[in-house]
């Protein structure tokens, strides 16, 4: 009888920490056997990769060996997935280089070739279901305003800066420019064009808010993302004042034949569902000395790119000789993307 | 010029078809063939082909036929060589794409200069007033469309008097079609200096100091006969833009961004 009592007592007793741990242990065993089943998959290589990838560290905290392993895993997986030899590069930033970008808004004709070049180079998702473009080109209307306008009516609506608003009247809706303009020919007579992309801020608000610190600024000034560590919370998208970041709401659509096989771990390697991406100044090109895809494709040569620390570089000459401004300098983000005029 | 150019295009197309039917060895994904243009449609064409194993030299836009991506930025280029550029770049690393093959695509340069404009048959005009010359409108339909220098510049200010394969600068020295900046810079000095510094114009290739760069010369972007072309008088001819981004799901048009909002709506002209 005492034995029976004891067993009853055991049954009625609430779960102790020890029991819980024992149970959890059983679960672990179960999940491990699940892993074993995964490993026994007809495609063992792929399962191995996925498993190891899932448990890898934040890229910034990896040792060189771990980085190399991660890169090799990805190369194997991508090569299999896209049916061609895909290289994943891990080149760190170059000593003595700080990348800067300058765009001549007087020259830009709004042809959107930079947008499409970026998509071709950086393996963005394309198609009707989910289209991701890192560069946006805004069409701004030209306008005039007089002192009388300013005092009596606020800024005129079509000026493209701010609509209405002065000491006596509230500000209206800010006219932000048109994304979806489709004239037959550009440039149009009454418009100018304003391309925007990631400004690679020196004090990036997106880096400040990232709860898992998967996005960070490299020494050459490029703000990068470790897609594997991204949890998809989209805080950075909210924090960015330049609308530079894009989110993979669904599985990205990247046709095999259009995929660019020359990739960088922190740049244009294929992304997965649920991660954030943005312009990286074509890190896979620029760290090898090549100009970015958008610079090379601009038919009017409005885009300039180079090393801000090299006094003879084109970008420094632009800064020295031209009228330059940075977008929303009041936010103290210190962008490394400059707009200039002749 | 356009008609002959189109004829030439169609011949080119037949050629390409012929070549393709013989050599279907381009791998999957490299179906792109034909040609696209760099900056000036008709005057800066590139033929698409495989430049290395599995890599095309350029990718073209299916919508507008413009170059969208450079696989090999240095294809068809030659060292800039003897050109004097007082800039901080290593001259031997600078390359240019010769203009003569582009200008000579319909063989006008070769045939015309051999047959007549060789300095023997055609009399040199005595009237040196600036005017468009109403000649050869069959092969140069836009000959009357001369808009350069607000009526102060005419053919023989830039083209060599007797040798039509050459340009001529304001000192009378002949200039190759491949180095138009030597001629253009004589008047447009400020732009020339900016171009030399890399601020004006375009370069592709390597950004780093000492890296190989392809410099683009004046006539690769500007039409020297009709520089005021385009609605905006920007010096750059108008182009067809690439397609707009997709509208957000559920949105049928983009009228919202064309509307002017604001407190003054309706009560003033603003």
Residue of A nearest to B244 (CA): A180
Q: Do residues B59 and A120 lie in contact, with contact meaning Cβ atoms separated by under 8 Å?
A: yes
Q: What is the pLDDT of residue B32?
A: 55
- Chain B partners within 8 Å of A253 (Cβ): none
pLDDT digit string (tens) for chain A, length 342 residues: 444 444 444 445 555 555 555 544 444 444 444 444 444 444 555 555 678 888 899 999 999 999 999 999 999 999 999 999 999 999 999 999 999 999 999 999 999 999 999 999 999 999 989 999 999 999 987 765 566 666 666 555 544 455 555 666 555 444 568 899 999 998 888 788 999 999 999 999 999 999 999 999 999 999 999 999 999 999 999 999 999 999 999 999 999 999 999 999 999 999 999 999 999 999 999 999 999 999 999 999 999 999 999 998 999 999 999 999 999 899 999 999 999 998
- Is A296 in Cβ contact with B241 (below 8 Å)? no
Query: B89: which 2 tokens?
Result: 């770049």
What is d(CA B99, CA A54) in angstroms, rounded to the nearest whole number? 54
- Is A304 in Cβ contact with B199 (below 8 Å)? yes
What is d(CA A207, CA A224) in angstroms, rounded to the nearest whole number? 9
- Is A84 in Cβ contact with B54 (below 8 Å)? yes
Q: Look up residue B239 and give its DSSP letter.
A: B
- Chain A partners within 8 Å of B54 (Cβ): 84, 261
What is d(CA A12, CA A29) in angstroms, rounded to the nearest whole number? 26
In which residue are the tokens 């024992």 written?
A22
Please tell me which of the candidates A149, A165, A182 has its beta carbon nearest to residue B270: A149
- Is A286 in Cβ contact with B260 (below 8 Å)? no
How do beta strands B58-60 and B67-70 pair?
antiparallel
Q: Do residues B180 and B62 lie in contact, with contact meaning Cβ atoms separated by under 8 Å?
A: no
- Chain A partners within 8 Å of B256 (Cβ): none
B244 touching A (Cβ < 8 Å): yes
* Count of all residues that appear for chain A in the document: 342
B198 touching A (Cβ < 8 Å): yes
Burial A241-269 (b: 16+ CB within 10 A, else e): ebebbbbbeeebebeeeebbbbbbbbbbb
| B124 confidence band (pLDDT: 50, 70, 90) | confident
Instruction: Give the pLDDT confidence of B218-263 residue by residue, as tens digits.
Output: 999 998 888 877 556 678 888 999 999 999 888 898 887 776 544 4
Residue of A nearest to B216 (CA): A301
- B2 min Cα distance to partner chain A (Å): 19
Using a 10 angstrom Cβ sphere, with 0-12 exposed, 13-18 middle and 19 or more buried, the burial of residue A340 is: buried
Interface of B with A in 34-93 (CB under 8 A): 38-39, 54, 59, 61, 64, 66-70, 73, 88
B208 touching A (Cβ < 8 Å): yes
CA–centroid distance for B132 within its chain: 22
Residue of A nearest to B232 (CA): A189
What is d(CA B211, CA B252) in angstroms, rounded to the nearest whole number? 48
Name which of A69, A267, A110, A118 is nearest B234 in CA terms. A110
Interface of B with A in 154-173 (CB under 8 A): none
Residue of A nearest to B38 (CA): A299
Query: A53: which 2 tokens?
Result: 């990838």
* Domain-wise residue ranges, chain B: 32-72, 78-220
- Is A297 in Cβ contact with B67 (below 8 Å)? yes
Helices A314-321/B189-197 angle, 10° precision:
140
Please tell me which of the candidates B39, B205, B262 has its beta carbon nearest to residue A291: B205
The residues facing A104 across adjacent strands are A340
Q: E strand or H helix at A246, and its extent?
A: strand A246-247
CA–centroid distance for A63 within its chain: 24
Please tell me which of the candidates A116, A178, A321 has its beta carbon nearest to residue B199: A321
* Count of all residues that appear for chain B in the document: 270
Half-sphere exposure of A251 (CA within 13 A, CB side): 1
- Chain A partners within 8 Å of B264 (Cβ): 153-154, 157, 164, 169, 172
Query: A152: which 2 tokens?
Result: 């009596």
- Is B198 in Cβ contact with A188 (below 8 Å)? no
How do beta strands A262-264 and A337-341 pair?
unpaired
Helices (H), B100-153: 100-103, 108-115
Answer whether residue B68 shows pLDDT above 90.
yes
Q: What is the pLDDT of residue B191?
A: 93
| B89 confidence band (pLDDT: 50, 70, 90) | low
Please tell me which of the candidates B221, B238, B244 has its beta carbon nearest to residue A187: B238
Q: What is the pLDDT of residue B79?
A: 85
- Is B247 in Cβ contact with A116 (below 8 Å)? no
B246 touching A (Cβ < 8 Å): yes
- Is A177 in Cβ contact with B208 (below 8 Å)? no
Please tell me which of the candidates B39, B70, B197 has its beta carbon nearest to residue A299: B39
Please tell me which of the candidates A112, A156, A183 has its beta carbon nearest to residue B242: A112
- Is A110 in Cβ contact with B231 (below 8 Å)? no
Residue of B nearest to A144 (CA): B270
Q: Look up residue A274 and give its DSSP letter.
A: T
Q: E strand or H helix at B59, and its extent?
A: strand B58-60
Q: Do residues A163 and A174 lie in contact, with contact meaning Cβ atoms separated by under 8 Å?
A: yes
- B214 min Cα distance to partner chain A (Å): 10
Rounded to 10 degrees, the C-alpha dihedral A153/A158/A163/A167 comes to -30
Q: What is the pLDDT of residue B243?
A: 95
Burial B28-56 (b: 16+ CB within 10 A, else e): ebbebbbbbbbbbbebbbbebbbeeeeeb
B197 touching A (Cβ < 8 Å): yes
Residue of B nearest to A82 (CA): B29
Instruction: Give the pLDDT confidence of B14-47 residue by residue, as tens digits.
Output: 444 443 333 333 333 344 568 899 998 888 899 9
Name which of A248, A196, A199, A195 is nearest A223 in CA terms. A199
Helices (H), chain A: 2-12, 17-39, 44-54, 64-82, 113-122, 147-152, 205-209, 235-239, 283-286, 293-297, 314-321
Q: Do residues A293 and A135 lie in contact, with contact meaning Cβ atoms separated by under 8 Å?
A: no
What is d(CA B53, CA B128) in angstroms, rounded to the nearest whole number? 55
- Is B204 in Cβ contact with A291 (below 8 Å)? yes
- A80 min Cα distance to partner chain B (Å): 16
Q: What is the pLDDT of residue B26?
A: 35
Helices A64-82/A44-54 angle, 10° precision:
140
Contacts of B141 (CB under 8 A, 6+ apart): B1, B2, B3
Q: Do residues A338 and A98 lie in contact, with contact meaning Cβ atoms separated by under 8 Å?
A: no
- Chain B partners within 8 Å of A110 (Cβ): 241
Q: Which of B40, B46, B208 to mutate to test the interface with A (most CBs of A within 10 A)?
A: B208
Answer whether residue B90 shows pLDDT above 70.
no
Name which of A92, A125, A60, A100 is nearest A281 in CA terms. A100
Q: What ipTM was reported for this prediction?
A: 0.81
State the DSSP string of B249-261: TT----GGGTS--
What is d(CA A26, CA A40) in angstroms, rounded to the nearest whole number? 21
Using a 10 angstrom Cβ sphere, with 0-12 exposed, 13-18 middle and 19 or more buried, the burial of residue B159 is: middle
Q: What is the pLDDT of residue B147?
A: 84
* Pairwise pLDDT comparison (B66 vs B19), residue with the higher score: B66
Please tell me which of the candidates B66, B240, B270 has its beta carbon nearest to residue A184: B240
Residue of B nearest to A187 (CA): B238
Whole-angstrom CA distances from A97 to A26, A101, A309 are 53, 13, 6
């Amino acid at each position: 009888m005492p034995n029976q009592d004891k067993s009853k007592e055991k049954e009625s007793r609430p779960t102790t920490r020890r029991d819980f741990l024992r149970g959890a242990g059983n679960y672990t065993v179960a999940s491990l056997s699940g892993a074993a089943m995964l490993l026994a998959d007809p495609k063992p290589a792929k399962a191995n990769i996925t498993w190891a990838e899932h448990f890898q560290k934040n890229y910034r905290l990896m040792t060189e060996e771990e980085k190399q392993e991660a890169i090799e895993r990805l190369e194997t997986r991508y090569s299999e997935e896209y049916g061609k030899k895909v290289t994943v590069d891990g080149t760190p930033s170059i000593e003595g280089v700080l990348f800067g970008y300058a765009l001549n808004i007087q020259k830009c004709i709004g042809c959107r070739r930079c947008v499409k070049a970026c998509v071709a180079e950086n393996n963005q998702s394309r198609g009707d279901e989910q289209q991701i473009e890192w560069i946006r080109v805004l069409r701004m209307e030209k306008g005039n305003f007089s002192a009388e306008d300013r005092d009596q009516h606020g800024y005129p609506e079509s000026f493209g800066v701010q609509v209405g608003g002065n000491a006596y009247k509230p500000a209206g809706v800010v006219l932000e420019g048109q994304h979806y303009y489709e004239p037959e020919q550009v440039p149009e007579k009454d418009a100018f064009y304003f391309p925007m992309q990631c400004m690679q801020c020196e004090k990036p608000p997106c880096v400040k808010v990232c709860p898992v610190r998967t996005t960070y600024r490299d020494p050459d000034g490029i703000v990068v993302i470790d897609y594997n560590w991204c949890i998809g919370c989209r805080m950075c998208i909210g924090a960015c004042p330049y609308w530079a970041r894009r989110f993979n709401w669904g599985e990205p659509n990247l046709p095999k034949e259009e995929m660019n096989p020359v990739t960088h771990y922190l740049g244009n390697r294929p992304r997965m569902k649920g991660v954030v991406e943005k312009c990286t100044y074509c890190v896979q090109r620029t760290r090898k000395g090549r100009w970015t895809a958008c610079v090379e494709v601009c038919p009017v040569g409005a885009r300039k790119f180079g090393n801000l620390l090299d006094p003879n570089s084109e970008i420094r000459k632009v800064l020295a000789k031209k009228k330059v401004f940075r977008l929303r300098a009041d936010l103290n983000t210190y962008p490394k993307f400059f707009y200039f005029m002749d | 010029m356009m008609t002959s150019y189109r004829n030439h295009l169609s011949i080119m197309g037949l050629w390409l078809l012929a070549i393709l039917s013989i050599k279907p060895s381009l791998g999957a994904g490299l179906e792109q063939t034909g040609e696209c243009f760099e900056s000036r449609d008709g005057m800066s064409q590139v033929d698409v082909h495989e430049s290395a194993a599995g890599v095309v030299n350029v990718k073209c836009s299916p919508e507008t036929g413009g170059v969208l991506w450079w696989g090999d930025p240095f294809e068809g280029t030659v060292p800039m060589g003897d050109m004097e550029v007082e800039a901080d770049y290593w001259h031997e690393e600078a390359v240019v794409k010769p203009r003569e093959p582009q200008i000579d695509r319909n063989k006008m340069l070769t045939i015309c200069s051999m047959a007549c404009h060789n300095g023997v048959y055609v009399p040199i005009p005595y009237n040196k007033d600036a005017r468009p010359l109403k000649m050869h409108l069959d092969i140069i339909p836009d000959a009357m469309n001369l808009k350069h220098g607000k009526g102060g510049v005419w053919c023989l200010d830039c083209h060599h008097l007797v040798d039509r394969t050459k340009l001529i600068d304001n000192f009378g020295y002949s200039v190759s079609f491949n180095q138009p900046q030597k001629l253009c810079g004589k008047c447009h000095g400020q732009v020339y200096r900016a171009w030399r510094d890399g601020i004006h114009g375009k370069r592709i290739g390597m950004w780093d100091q000492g890296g190989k760069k392809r410099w683009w010369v004046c006539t690769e972007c500007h039409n020297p006969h009709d520089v005021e072309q385009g609605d905006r008088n920007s010096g750059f001819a108008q182009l067809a833009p690439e397609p707009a981004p997709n509208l957000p799901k559920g949105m049928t048009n983009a009228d919202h961004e064309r509307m002017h909002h604001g407190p003054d709506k309706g009560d003033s002209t603003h």
